[in-house]
Chains A and B, each alone.
Chain A
Amino acid sequence: QTVVTQEPSLTVSPGGTVTLTCASSTGAVTSGYYANWFQQKPGQAPGALIYSTSNKHSWTPARFSGSLLGGKAALTLSGVQPEDEAEYYCLLYSGGAWVFGGGTTLTVL
């Protein structure tokens, strides 16, 4: 079964820019993996940010963007706000099944 790997933790300063990545054990992530990104805060259900690599939902703040970077899916936050401190999960479609990454804890400090 595919294993999806994310950075366990990252720290960013308010107003800064940070990129989270999502790698697949099967090889380079392409558009065919339909990467999704979610934000989860304690005690809440995950909230969807990005789908199909780079598409934003109608509610996704403009500072969030998705892309492919160096064979991985990537989520970039530009102009980070204190409220962006959360757990971030990627989700990849591989072999007819969805697989979540282990999550990245983003600290805004």
Chain B
Amino acid sequence: QVQLQQWGAGLLKPSETLSLTCAVYNGSFSAYYCNWIRQPPGKGLEWIGDISQSGTTNYNPSLRSRVTISVDTSKNQFSLKLSSVTAADTAVYYCARGDVITGMGYWGQGTLVTVSS
């Protein structure tokens, strides 16, 4: 059974950089894109971006200037960095594996990141 486990700091101050990592267990890592998605409290889902195993990235245009997604294939892990955070970046952040061919079938458990001074 494919599992995604994610971790990272849950409380940040404005202007700091959000950093999360997601590991993929019990499944193929090299054949899929990996995604980051977020959900502000009480609101809908927002796609942040994705990365292929070769390192090709695609980002949400509204976040592109602040987002970096990277991959470490040796550890079956991928990471998200979001710079210059504000209260508007407070959300549950999810990682998910999948792409146009396979769909986003597998998700991490979610990490609540709160930005507060």
Contacts and interface: CB of A to CB of B under 8 A. Distances in A.
Between B46, B105, B109, B110, the greatest number of chain A beta carbons within 10 A of the residue's beta carbon is seen for B105
A36 B107 CA distance: 14
Contact of A100 (B47, B62, B108): B47
Interface string B53-71: 0000011111000000000
B27 interface: no
Contacts, number: 60
Contacts of B106: 48
Interface string A77-102: 00000000000010101001111111
Contacts of A89: 44-45
A76 B53 CA distance: 34
A102 B107 contact: no
Given A36-B103, A45-B107, A45-B110, A97 B61 contact: yes
A97 B105 contact: no
B103 A45 contact: no
A26 interface: no
A22 B90 CA distance: 27
A34 interface: yes
Given A46-B45, A89-B45, A96 B58 contact: yes
Contacts of B107: 45-48
A98 B105 CA distance: 15
Contacts of B62: 1
6 contacts: A36-B103, A38-B45, A91-B104, A93-B100, A97-B59, A101-B44
Interchain residue pairs A-B with the least CB separation, the first 4: A51-B103, A98-B47, A34-B100, A100-B45
